[in-house]
Chain A
Amino acid sequence: MKIAVCIKRTPDSESRFRIAASSTAIDETGLKFDIDDFASYAVEVALQLNEKQGPGEVVVYAVGPDAVQETLRKAMSMGVDRAVQLKTDSVPYDGLAVAKALAAELAGGGYDLVLFGKHAFDTSSGVVGTATAELLGIACVTAATKLDIANGKGTARRELEGAAETVEFSLPAAVTIDEGIARPRYPSLKGIMAAKKKPLETKPAQLGDVRITVKALQLPPDRPAGRIIGEGAAAVPELIRLLQTEAKVL
């Protein structure tokens, strides 16, 4: 199969973030950037699909400045065949603008499958994959936790809130990949050396109109000291309320 994987370069999610003096960007000093976690799952899924299904090609795409070349080579060190950088000075927050750049490049590429991470750690939006699929006019499945391709058709599982669904889709298709589907492999040392010799093409990104801009970035308030909210089962409703409204994790 011919598979494209669109990846993003994002900072290590374990980092402590500071806001840059401009207040519209994070301070990148000391941050370690790498392929986004979800994108790395997508790369792994692409490699496994082709290992299982026989010969094919896996191509990675990234929109961004030259720093993304390192991220593209990382994917190639995992086994991806070649890479394309869609060059732009910075990646806008506007997912639709990014999707337009990717769709312009992917159209006519003859891909059976275009994979994305479910979302990227930094913008945490999950727009680009679905919007790219829509621009390409192909099927799209978001947040897949399982993916099989057989006889020119795909089957995927996606988690819903408190439920899961199995979907069938036609090819070509775009699929955004959730966690838990595959642990990305370690780039082998030979893979790292081989990646240097694989083709990496750079083209200007045909971004659409950028209509979303960052006005300000802020850090959320500090974590409060531990507190006991109540005793026994009677405290459960209060806990649920706090998880929903304050922690926003439920």
Chain B
Amino acid sequence: MANVLVFAETRGVALRKVALEATTAARALADATGGGEVHALVAGPPGVGAVAEQLGKHGADVVVVVEHAGLANFNCEVAAASVAARVKGASYRAVLLGFSAQGRDVGPRVAVKLDAPIVADVTAIQAATGDSLIVQHPGYANKVIATLEVKSPLAVLSVRPSAITAQAAERTARVDTMAPAADPAASRVMVKEVVEGGKGKIDLGDAPVIVAGGRGLKAAENFKIVEELAAAFGNAAVGATRAVTDDGWRPHSDQIGQTGRQVSPQLYVAVGISGAIQHLAGMRTSKTIVAINKDKEAPIFKVADYGIVGDVMEVVPALTKAVHEAKAGH
């Protein structure tokens, strides 16, 4: 029987979706190792403790609440120190957290403080026996799946967002309060400003997501729906077909295709693009391709993992709205 600790990340006083996913993974791990408890630690401004109810519904037996006025913004050093302090004062089999912007920061620090091995970006915990954990972790930009064995009585695992679906495991969590294990004001790194939805222009070659538009948009001014969808993703760049750049709707530098840029983002969304061979040459190595086009015979649908037949002016704004919601973690 072994307990599992979750670092449940929040933004402000709101829980993030990945926190529930990590809690679900922790519940499964605790159950698999003989029915231990799941403890979840939250660190935030006063009021953040209210998330205990939600965590309880997803399987947390105890919620450790670290509230402090100095934690209005995420503070990595306080979070890591508090998690480590909690682990040192008790007995845990593993620390779970999300492989998110916060988790990337907190996980390795906790691992160092506890001298525990860490596997990041875990997509599945497959087995737990004695000191051994078997986990899955995609490497090589998702082109290779690694099965890893972690041999240690205590391990840190960060789980890939959306890899594990949060599940209800109803219970009422007991609440423990704890003072921050480090002084928030003494942090070496201080958040000065958080800009919601903010993102500088990303180069097409660097962008994990590309939203590209073609002649199917009908007019230059309609390109704004492409920009809005890109903005919703947050990490997206805007591209275009040659027809569009030739017509001057977009600058030449946005052109993707035989004579333009050759890209392979994680996600390529083709909006009103028929899929001429010249265009496909520039984007067919994209990991996931989504196509939205009126003509169901368009060649783009032959390469699209997910195609939607329809009017781009109707489908794209709906998609933009849905992406915003998904990103916000609802």
Contacts and interface: CB of A to CB of B under 8 A. Distances in A.
**A–B direct contact (CB < 8 Å):** yes
Interface of A: 11, 13-14, 17, 19, 26, 93-96, 99, 119, 121-131, 134-135, 138-143, 145-146, 155, 157-170, 173, 179-180, 183, 211-220, 223-233, 235-237, 239-240, 242-245, 247-250
Interface of B: 11, 16, 73-74, 76, 80, 100-102, 104-105, 107-109, 111-113, 115-121, 123, 134, 137-152, 160-163, 165, 188-200, 202-203, 206-209, 233-235, 264, 266-267, 285, 287-291, 296, 301-311, 314-315, 318-319, 322-323, 326-329
A131 B111 contact: yes
B195 A165 contact: yes
Closest 4 CB pairs between A and B?
Answer: A139-B188, A130-B108, A233-B318, A134-B112
Given A134-B109, A218-B145, A121 B140 contact: yes
Contact of A142 (B105, B139, B302, B326): B105
A124 B139 contact: yes
Contact of B308 (A125, A145, A215, A236): A236
Given A130-B105, A140-B105, A232-B315, A239 B310 contact: no
A13 to B, nearest CB: 6
A164 B300 CA distance: 34
Given A125-B121, A180-B203, 18 more contacts: A13-B140, A13-B141, A14-B285, A17-B144, A126-B108, A134-B112, A140-B105, A180-B200, A217-B144, A225-B302, A226-B303, A226-B304, A228-B296, A228-B304, A230-B308, A247-B305, A247-B306, A249-B266
Contact of A127 (B120, B202, B288): B120
Contact of B326 (A157, A166, A169, A250): A250
A236 B105 CA distance: 33
A179 B265 CA distance: 13
A162 B328 contact: yes
A215 B134 contact: yes
Contacts of B73: 165
A14 B199 contact: no
